[in-house]
Structure 1
Amino acid sequence: MQIGALVPLTRPGWVEAGQHLRAGLELAVRDINDAGGVGGRPLELLVRDTAADPQKAVAAVDELARLGVVALAGEYHSVVAREAARRADAIGLPFLCSSAVLDVLVEEPTKWVARLPPAQSHGWRIYAEFLLNAGHRRIAVAIAPNVYWDSGVRILRDHLAPRGGEIIELDAAKLCDDLVDKKATALLILVGQTDAAASIVKSVRHDPRCADILIGAPAGQPEFADWMTLLGDDGAAIPFLRYLPAQLSPLGARVATALRAQLEAPSFVAFEGYDTIVVLADMLRSGDMDWSRVAVEGTRGQISFSRVPGIGVFQWAWPPVQVVDRDPADHARFRILKDG
């Protein structure tokens, strides 16, 4: 049985995230096949690189459907997952979205698509609550506008405004001047390209006027090793969202050990990849591709799906959510700042 996998493996996609997602998907396939496969039949993963290109993803969905895959898995970038989900819905091919959080993946409710990570509105509200609890009310954003970042800003603004918080959009050409002039106490990096995000961090970190400003990255850039390679000490103490429990399940601990042999420091994205295959294998064993019947143990807890108001796909409600940062004294250590 073949499962199609959509993964960003070349630029402008987030290649490191794609590598982690693929590693988790492939490890789960190996584990299931080592245990006898699904109904005595091995699983095979057909991986296609989306390169963060929505149209390339749509073409891959059509190709994989022609090849006869029984389901689709994967994708990291929300704007890409949205187009893949819409195409999968149109042709009636089950798609489990592994790692993209944009609330609206399809226009109308569908039985064909489900999602493992929390919807953006869920995770980003937890991040907004973290900011409020830490005393931040004037929060600046450095944003590269697209549907994902624009949605994030709306979520933050809607959650912060009733509690006296304010979102301030800055002019990138005079970022530090604006931070000081507008009396912001926090700056959120809402930029997809790691190099561009790192450049913003460096400019703020090395301006003495901004020494007390919190830098945050809710989308999770500091989770990956290339962030610290680019930034070194400047990349620590930047809070971000990740979807892990305080303690992994026994399955999660075993998977973490296996992933470290390949990734050294597996991210939450790798666990999302593993859990994706666990769910799809469970559905294939039952012979019933009904997301509402899923009840299976994943690396991060018991997984089931339901209908959530405002979200047209079946949703795991909810995976564990944390706000964490990297410890300045030990960059490999993550400090849990808030559990969601």
Structure 2
Amino acid sequence: MSTPPPPSGAERTDGAAVRIGALVPLSRPGWVEAGRHLLAGLELAVREVNDAGGIAGRPLELVVRDTAADPRRAAAAVDELAGLGVAALAGEYHSVVARAAAARADALGLPFLCSSAVLDALTERPTPWVARLAPAQSHGWRIYADFLLGGGHRRIAVAAESSVYWASGARILRDHVAPRGGTVAALDMGALTPGAVSDALVDRRATALLLLVGHPEPAVSIVEAVRRDQRLAGTMIGAPAGQPEFARWAASLGGAGAGIPFLRYLPERLGPLGARVGTALRERLAEAPSFVALEGYDTVAVLAEVLRSHGVDRARVAGSWPCVAVEGTRGPIRFSRTPGIGVWQWAWPPVQVVDRDPADPGRFRVLHAG
């Protein structure tokens, strides 16, 4: 077994593996399906890097830790991975968990390329150590708000659980639609049953209900309750956080889960790289890959290029973020400093609003692009 690189991240030339720490939700209450797709993308890219000769002749190794959507567990994993001598961190899907990991990585001086988490305030202060591939929540959710307004929705309700992420999303929506004559009413899912949501929608005369809640529950029960209520036959249900992206949504709800718009970070058409990777991921997952799987692949593609060009010293890896120019599965990836965001940001990945086609829930329809 290879001796791990020293914790300082100093250069090694003896052929030992170059390690990347991967943070992924693989058990409940984490969104396990998203974690599985993210890990598949990470692993596929590592395999391809090694098939192409690794990092200056050294194999690339992924050291995976399950965060289970627990910020404390993620922070402890960062400490452990730093001690194992990883050159950088990758991954994570849940925003609140990624924020804890980013804070710890910043404190330790450990580069972290966040794959999927979107919370704007990923760190409390600007840091040179963290970069992100996913678009900031404010960017994607404003595009979603434009979609709602374009569809004539001015009275919007959000069924929300208590979370920094959900509260941030509700605030972005409210701030964007209010100047355009819209309102956003919060329905506290800590106080309401899914059945009571229907009465609240009728009382508020809402034309759209957004699910700012976990999946499968209470999201599935809310959808079922609203779909059954004849008073709400014309009410649009939306899920900006992307719950309907994954197969389990369709399996849980069938046709009732169709026609629910969500955000997806894909271009209108994948280029040759994205198409090839998508085919390989489909074989690996035995189902259509989500954009989250492509985010995982792109994460390793970026880190591999950085490690080849700048070596495995952690400070040099972090110092390379502004120099990145990598062709990703969804377009050219470059990082910049974006106002209001304290990490190096890809500004911006492609953003779509899509839903599952009611006539064929296995097919996605693009409703809006930003």
TM-score for both structures, normalised by structure 1: 0.99
1:42-101 Cα deviation digits (max 9, x unpaired):
100000000000000001000001100000000000000000000000000000000000
Alignment partner of 1:180 out of 198, 202, 208: 202
CA distance in 2 between counterparts of 1:141 and 1:307 reads 31
**Does the CA contact (< 8 Å) of 2:215 and 2:243 recur in 1?**
no
Following TM superposition, the consecutive aligned residue runs of length 4 or more in structure 1 with deviations greater than 4 angstroms are none
Alignment partner of 1:74 out of 91, 94, 112: 91
CA distance in 2 between counterparts of 1:322 and 1:40 reads 39
Alignment partner of 2:342 out of 296, 303, 312: 312
Q: Partner of 1:335 in structure 2? A: 365
CA distance in 2 between counterparts of 1:117 and 1:52 reads 18
User: Could you say what secondary structure the match of 1:194 adopts?
Assistant: coil
Alignment partner of 2:126 out of 83, 86, 109: 109
- C-alpha RMSD of matched pairs (Å): 0.8
Q: Partner of 1:47 in structure 2? A: 64
- How many angstroms does 1:311 deviate by? 0.4
Q: Partner of 2:282 in structure 1? A: 260
- How many angstroms does 1:195 deviate by? 2.4
Alignment partner of 1:157 out of 174, 183, 208: 174
Q: Partner of 1:232 in structure 2? A: 254
Q: Partner of 1:284 in structure 2? A: 307
CA distance in 1 between counterparts of 2:73 and 2:295 reads 22
**Does the CA contact (< 8 Å) of 2:23 and 2:89 recur in 1?**
yes
In structure 1, the gaps of 5 or more residues are: none
- How many angstroms does 1:262 deviate by? 2.0
Alignment partner of 2:213 out of 176, 180, 191: 191
- How many angstroms does 1:169 deviate by? 1.6
Q: Report whether the alignment pairs 1:326 with 2:349.
A: no
1:21-53 Cα deviation digits (max 9, x unpaired):
000000000011111111111100000000000
CA distance in 2 between counterparts of 1:141 and 1:339 reads 22
Letter in 1 for 2:351: V
- How many angstroms does 1:11 deviate by? 0.2
**Does the CA contact (< 8 Å) of 2:93 and 2:116 recur in 1?**
yes
User: Could you say what secondary structure the match of 1:331 adopts?
Assistant: strand
CA distance in 2 between counterparts of 1:31 and 1:254 reads 12
CA distance in 1 between counterparts of 2:362 and 2:47 reads 28
Q: Report whether the alignment pairs 1:216 with 2:235.
A: no
Letter in 1 for 2:199: D
In structure 2, the gaps of 5 or more residues are: 1-17, 311-315
- How many angstroms does 1:175 deviate by? 1.1
Instruction: Report how many aligned residue pairs link the two structures.
Output: 340
User: Could you say what secondary structure the match of 2:335 adopts?
Assistant: coil
CA distance in 2 between counterparts of 1:178 and 1:60 reads 42
Moved more, 190-199 or 265-274: 190-199
CA distance in 2 between counterparts of 1:12 and 1:208 reads 33
* Structure of higher CA gyration radius: 2
1:192-228 Cα deviation digits (max 9, x unpaired):
2322101000000011111100000000000000111
TM-score for both structures, normalised by structure 2: 0.91
Q: Report whether the alignment pairs 1:91 with 2:108.
A: yes
Letter in 1 for 2:185: I
CA distance in 2 between counterparts of 1:56 and 1:154 reads 28
**Does the CA contact (< 8 Å) of 2:131 and 2:343 recur in 1?**
yes
CA distance in 1 between counterparts of 2:54 and 2:20 reads 13
